[in-house]
Amino acid sequence: MKVVYTAPNRAHHYKYAGALNAANCLHAFISGFPRISSRSTTGELKGKLYHSDILQTLYIASLKGKLPSAVSLYLAYLSKVEQDLACRRFIKECDVFLFYSGSGLMSSRYAKKKGVITIVEAVNSHVEFQEDILEMEFKHLNLLWKPFPVKEKTRRIKEYEEADFILLPSEFVKRSFIAKGFSAKKLLKVPYGFNKASYYHANTTNGLGQTNYTILYVGSISVRKGVRYLIEAFKKLSHPKKRLVLVGPNVNDGALNGLILTPDIVFTGVLKGKNLEQAYHAADVFCLPSIEEGLALVLGEALSFGLPIITTCNTGADDIITNGKEGYILPICDSVAIWQKLQAFVDNPHLFKKFQENAFNRSKELNGWEETGKNLVNTLSKAKL
């Protein structure tokens, strides 16, 4: 098997390319990740890594320069077209063309004519599913709703329909495609890998009641992440030393409109490295109330610190935890449900302690990136027309 793979950013994609290369399956990896970054090259991919990043670099620059959103969105669209066009010259010598959603429509059509298996990688739910659920939430909050760019949306849908298979990271994403009429036979699930628990030290000595009760959130402060529902739940929580720590950038999309923010709600901004690790260590419970995301890697990080998880059914959580064992998987947009589970840990210290232990033990069982890489190679090798 020879695979041509393209993706616009680094994320898990370099890990996937490395796994394919280690299995002698990678023919070429076309990356949109800016080559000016020190992280854009890696020795293990020498001779297989190609850059198609001019427009992606301009797109990132437009975000940093705070250009009009219409400009940035159009550059994002064009950057994927650039990557698409760059893949064509490699197609003749491969068996499988794997491409990030939005980055492979034209090359996949050419590949199909050559008898090459085409697989589109969807890291989030079906684009129409995303749009439906986010539009509903923006309108519920009386916020201006801006539909996804038509060209980008149309391109993704065509890729979904025309590709031989769709690579997905979670059951949630799989359900979204099935809800849109796709056959389960076309959907290939490979959950992401997680850092092993041995990298961290579980925070299993904490108890609630006489100590602080710190709830941690890591992610952007945005409508999509459902942060307002966590804040509403926290304000109802009864504990004398409660604290909510929100780690991540504020995208200023109206997510916090109308909320009264008290001093026990702390916004740290973006944290990395040791500072982020300290935030996990200082927490008692991790909460991720997202309305939509493919598979949240922060859930695995939280488990590694022995943090019980309270999250929603639209985060990929059912691929990571068992509801009622290491945490709770709740409906979206439900501050009452979040409050009830947060309060349950206060009212029942034995329950809290048990969830702590279960969380850390579960983190030891999660696949690391090496196992995920092998799963990816095995899954692609079994994809037959």
Q: How much is the pLDDT for 88?
A: 94
CATH topology identical between 3-193+369-381 and 197-365: yes
CA-only gyration radius of the chain, Å: 21
Contact 53, 31 (CB under 8 A): yes
Query: Nearest 5°: phi and psi at 335?
Result: -70, -30
Local confidence band at 200 (pLDDT 50, 70, 90 cut-offs): very low
∠374-303-100 over CA atoms, to 5°? 45
Q: How far is it, in rounded angstroms, from Cα 108 to Cα 162?
A: 8
Determine the average pLDDT of the residues in 288-301. 95
pLDDT tens-digit readout, 125-180:
999 999 999 999 999 999 999 999 999 999 999 999 999 999 999 999 999 999 99
Class of domain 3-193+369-381: alpha beta
CA dihedral of 211, 355, 228, 136, whole degrees rounded to 10? -170
Residue 196 three-state SS: coil
| Rounded (5°) CA angle 201-207-209 | 155
Render pLDDT for 229-255 as a digit per residue (tens, 0 to 9): 999 999 999 999 999 999 999 999 999
Going by pLDDT thresholds of 50, 70 and 90, the confidence category of residue 384 is confident
State the average pLDDT over residues 201-228: 79
Judge whether residue 204 has pLDDT over 80: no
Q: Using the predicted structure, report yes or no on whether residue 59 has a pLDDT greater than 80.
A: yes
State how far the Cα of 169 lies from the Cα of 125, in Å rounded to an integer: 10
Nearest CA to 56 out of 38, 37, 35, 33 is that of: 33
Residue count of the chain, please give it: 385
Please state the rounded mean pLDDT for residues 334-360. 95
Q: What is the mean pLDDT of the chain?
A: 93
Mean pLDDT computed over 21-28: 96
Q: Burial of 257 by CB count in 10 Å (0-12 exposed, 13-18 middle, 19+ buried)? A: exposed
Q: For residue 226, give the nearest of 121, 311, 352 by alpha carbon.
A: 311
Q: What is the mean pLDDT of residues 194-220?
A: 69
Strand 309-312: give its sheet, edge to edge: 265-269, 242-247, 213-218, 285-288, 309-312, 327-330
User: What pLDDT does residue 203 have?
Assistant: 53
Chain center to CA of 110: 30
Give residue limits of the domains in the chain. 3-193+369-381, 197-365
Q: Report the pLDDT value the prediction gives residue 364, as an integer from 0 to 100.
A: 87
Structural class in CATH, domain 197-365: alpha beta
Q: How confident is the model at residue 327 (pLDDT cuts 50, 70, 90)?
A: very high
